[in-house]
Amino acid sequence: MYGILLESIVTFIKKTYGEEKWELVRKTARVDQENFSAHQVYAETLIPRIVDACHAHLGQPKEDILISFGKTYVEFISHYGYDKILKVVGRNFRDFLNGLDNIHEYLRFSYPKLKPPSFFCEQESRTGLILHYRSRRRYDGYTQYVMGLLKAVGRAFYKQDIMVSILKQETTGNMVHVTFQLNFDNSAYQAKTVTENPTNLPLRMDVFYDLFPFHILFDREMIIRSIGKSLRATVDDITGYDATQVFSLKKPLIDFSWDAIAGRTNTMFELATIDPIRGKEDGDDEAYTWTDDKGKKRSSVVTQDEDNGTFLRLKGQMLFVKEWESMLFLGTAVLQDLDVLSQTGLYLNDLSMHDNSRDLVLAGAQQGVEMKLILKQEQTRTKSLDDALRKLENERHRSKELMYKLLPKPIADLVLAKNENRIGDLLIPDTVELAPLATILVCTLQHSGDGKTDGAENSTMENLRRTVAMQKHIDLAIERFGFYKIETTQESFLAVSGIPVPNEATEDNACFLAKKLARSAHSITGMRFEAAIHTGPTVYSVVGCRFPRLCILGPTVQTAQDLLKLPKIQLDGELCSILLTESTKSRLARDHTHKFQAGPSVPLRGSQNGQEPLKTFLLQVS
């Protein structure tokens, strides 16, 4: 299918439900494209996947979604100027329905790979008619899409409310046939009347041949009785052949038989030769060929998919001639440009002078060059836009990952949501929240000798290298255990977990993290590691509009910092000191494997007389 269908769907979803919903639908439907090009061909499976995703995320029945897609398409194509075509197809709605195939034929010039459906009407009355819809697209959803399109056309161009219902739907081979009942004010309908004119104007056969150089006359048995002189120049003399063995019926999508044609004489017909036309049988392809009982060469390899002059396509009307008891096909050759004209073996003087066949061929050559240039420019712009959107998406992903490193994920998601379409400084929520149970980890790293040696410059450089190596290790470990760094200096940092929502494993993770950092400090850099852990209510907020960061305040933070200022206490044989409070230890998992030793009691800052001091414990690392 062409991208113009998908463009209209994307525009409808964005306009009705917003950009966020479309992104959700796009990802669920596994649509890689950020946008679509109107003249580019895409996979037929895209629309079914988009419909399924819309049904899942928008909460609408699939039938209603497809009807809405059909309705919005009529409005959308006005951006391309196609509404002007729809307005002049017919004086009333019944004429529009009878001319639907002509619209698709017109669109073939802009969309050469178009495989249009076929429409024809029957059983007309003053209250409506029956419309037959045939398509090679086997997805059932296009039935509802067509229903929405018909309703939108009736309302937009004919100011009528069209009632559409499905009478029958069946699939035969690769063809879907749907019968619609359309109810509307069809007062324009007039029953066919036969007006006899006793005056007959004689017409010589040679004049008739000049007027219709591509005509075909066949009887009820589908035997060809006569063909036009220009047609004979391309397909030899096929008089006496069965028409169904020489031509295939491309439009409408019905059986190529007398009865089927006789009931559709108000429809545009398109025929194509089954075999390659004269001069095309001896191509480069190795094909299985044979000669039939009348001496005509047949080929089995080529197809009619490409309109490149290999096959001759004829378009026109079928007219029943009662005096001859035959069906007369009055057609013209479908030739896109001079190249196709040359490849079919025809010349301009082979075409009719009374219609615009010659003008179309000449105009097609010029328009073809212009269209190719426009298409190439559009494809270049589309590729540039796709590249820019891809880079933008990568930058958004990087920004999101960076925000997750700066802030806890729930808070980062809130900040990102408020700034999704914002340009410039970040919009930060000016709120102060309380985390009921946050765990604070305060750590220091000390170099042996503090760099005060004879080689002060060399020692300082070595200490800096150790600090950089340890800080990298700290960043990875903190992220792994679900903590976030709040403050960092050369030899200390403060981290927090449990904001905004406490985690059952926060205290255990704090102990594991402290022990891991203590071991790393000793084994990697030989530095002395000290830490304090405390759990309690903590006030927090996000500050900074260019570089947002988490700010925490309250007695819990102060207590953790005070613990680190106590006289250094360490277990025998360990080059570290990890002190934690009873509030942290009491929330450890029952089956924890940590080992403790009683630490000093610490009076709380600002505590009054009689208030019990804070109990602490030393965490054993090894």
Q: Spell out the domain ranges in the chain.
A: 205-280+296-355, 362-406, 419-619
pLDDT given for residue 353 in this prediction: 64
Q: Token pair for residue 308? A: 């490149």
- Phi-psi region at 593: left, alpha or beta (left = phi > 0; alpha = psi -120 to 50): alpha
Percent of the chain, pLDDT > 90?
Answer: 12
Instruction: Give yes or no for residue 128 having a pLDDT over 50.
Output: yes
Of 455 and 353, which is predicted with more confidence?
353
pLDDT one-digit tens code per residue, 432-461: 888 888 999 998 887 765 444 455 566 778
Of 209 and 300, which is predicted with more confidence?
209
Query: pLDDT-derived band of residue 290, with 50, 70 and 90 as boundaries?
Result: very low
The CA dihedral of 192, 196, 200, 203, to the nearest 10 degrees, is: 10
Instruction: Give yes or no for residue 485 having a pLDDT over 70.
Output: yes
Q: Token pair for residue 561? A: 């910092």
pLDDT given for residue 263 in this prediction: 78
Q: Mean of the pLDDT values across residues 153-177?
A: 88
Candidate ranges 49-53, 291-295, 420-424, 481-485; pick with highest mean pLDDT: 49-53
Q: Mean of the pLDDT values across residues 118-146?
A: 84
Superfamily covering domain 205-280+296-355 = Haem NO binding associated domain (3.30.450.260)
pLDDT one-digit tens code per residue, 377-404: 777 887 888 888 888 888 888 888 888 8
Instruction: Give yes or no for residue 170 having a pLDDT over 70.
Output: yes
Which of 221-225, 368-372, 600-604 bottoms out in mean pLDDT, i.e. has the lowest? 368-372
Q: Mean of the pLDDT values across residues 171-198?
A: 74
Q: Mean of the pLDDT values across residues 522-536?
A: 83
Instruction: Give yes or no for residue 299 having a pLDDT over 70.
Output: no
| Phi, psi (rounded to 5 degrees) for 525 | -120, -10
pLDDT given for residue 442 in this prediction: 92
Q: Token pair for residue 321? A: 């001639």
Percent of the chain, pLDDT > 70?
Answer: 82
- Give the C-alpha separation, 596 to 74, whole Å: 75
| Phi, psi (rounded to 5 degrees) for 110 | -90, -25
pLDDT given for residue 453 in this prediction: 47
Q: Mean of the pLDDT values across residues 421-430?
A: 74
Query: pLDDT-derived band of residue 283, with 50, 70 and 90 as boundaries?
Result: very low
pLDDT given for residue 576 in this prediction: 62
DSSP 62-116: HHHHHHHHHHHHHHHGGGGTTHHHHHTS-SSHHHHHHTHHHHHHHHTTT-TT---
- Give the C-alpha separation, 589 to 241, whole Å: 92
* Residues linked to residue 129 through DSSP beta bridges, in sequence order: 182
Single out the residue of 65, 263, 67 nearest to residue 163, CA to CA.
67
Which of 258-267, 465-474, 569-578 bottoms out in mean pLDDT, i.e. has the lowest? 569-578
Query: pLDDT-derived band of residue 490, with 50, 70 and 90 as boundaries?
Result: low
Of 394 and 602, which is predicted with more confidence?
394
Instruction: Give yes or no for residue 561 having a pLDDT over 90.
Output: no
How far CA 539 is from CA of 163, 431, 553, 556, in Å, comes to: 63, 11, 5, 9
pLDDT given for residue 147 in this prediction: 92
pLDDT one-digit tens code per residue, 324-352: 899 999 888 887 666 677 777 777 667 76
- Give the C-alpha separation, 418 to 403, whole Å: 13
Q: Token pair for residue 462? A: 């070595």
- Give the C-alpha separation, 265 to 38, whole Å: 34
Of 98 and 304, which is predicted with more confidence?
98
Instruction: Give yes or no for residue 192 having a pLDDT over 50.
Output: no
pLDDT given for residue 104 in this prediction: 77
CATH class entry, domain 419-619: alpha beta
How far CA 15 is from CA of 8, 98, 145, 156, 392, in Å, comes to: 10, 33, 19, 19, 22
pLDDT given for residue 38 in this prediction: 78
Considering the entire predicted model, what is its pTM? 0.51
Kindly report the average pLDDT of the chain as a whole number. 80
